[in-house]
Amino acid sequence: MAIAVFAVLAIVALVIPFESDETRFFFLIIAVILTSINVAGLFVVWRTSPTVVDEVFVMTTGGLLLKHYTRRLKPDTDEDILAGMLTAVQNFIRESFDETGGKLKEIRFESYDIVISNSKNVVVAAVISTKKPEKLSHQLKHATEDIEKNIGERLSHWDGNKSNLTEIDPIVKKFLAGKYKSGE
């Protein structure tokens, strides 16, 4: 849009006869200034717009769902099925492609991105509905590392009791607020 505005103003400056070259130069300077303001405004809006996290799944590396967080009041999908689907996709990728490339980190589907972070005993997947997963991938990595520090060892011999996993809640809540940093 900014380039189109600049192009129109530049064409006007070159086509329309002005009284002097100073007037033409002034008009071009105004076009450059307006275009710069437009570009700066677009950049500020892009940088400050929030990344919306719709869902967070905390799972074991084997695919057992530990916790599910949603911004919807009523989840309309079985959360265990979604956790199983994410695990199945990761297993498919692992078995179908050379494993030296690492682990699956992101899935894109229409207007959704699923960003995945792995640790030794924990997998955390965040479903977002904006196109800026890079804004939260570092936060998700730090949150996953902190979950691993708090409950990772316990998960290696976990008894299936979800009530003793309360340390996950404050970590994920800070992540959902968009202000997560490691060790908070």
Which of 122, 153, 151, 141 lies closest to 182 in space, CA to CA? 141
Phi/psi region, residue 158 (left: phi>0; alpha: psi -120 to 50; beta: rest), is beta
Question: Residue 162: which domain range?
Answer: 53-176
In this structure, are 81 and 100 located in the same domain?
yes
Picking from 28, 48, 68, the residue at the C-terminal end of a domain is 48
Domain presence at residue 125: yes
**pTM summary value:** 0.64
**pLDDT score at 184:** 47
Classify residue 182: in a domain, yes or no.
Answer: no
Specify if 170 maps to a domain: yes
For residue 169, which amino acid is it?
D
Same domain, 68 and 114: yes
Secondary structure class of 125 (helix, strand, coil): strand
Say if residue 86 is in the same domain as residue 122.
yes
Which residues are CB-contacts of 39 (< 8 A; sequence separation ≥ 6)?
A: 2
Does residue 71 sit in the same domain as residue 108?
yes
Handedness of CA 89, 94, 98, 102 (dihedral sign): positive
Residues of the chain scoring pLDDT < 70? 1-3, 5-6, 10, 13, 45-51, 72-83, 85, 90-102, 104, 130-135, 180-184
183 is a domain residue: no
Kindly state whether residues 148 and 82 are assigned to the same domain. Answer: yes
> Is the residue at 69 inside a domain?
yes
In a domain, 181, yes or no: no
Instruction: Mark whether 123 and 38 lie in a shared domain.
Output: no
184 within some domain: no
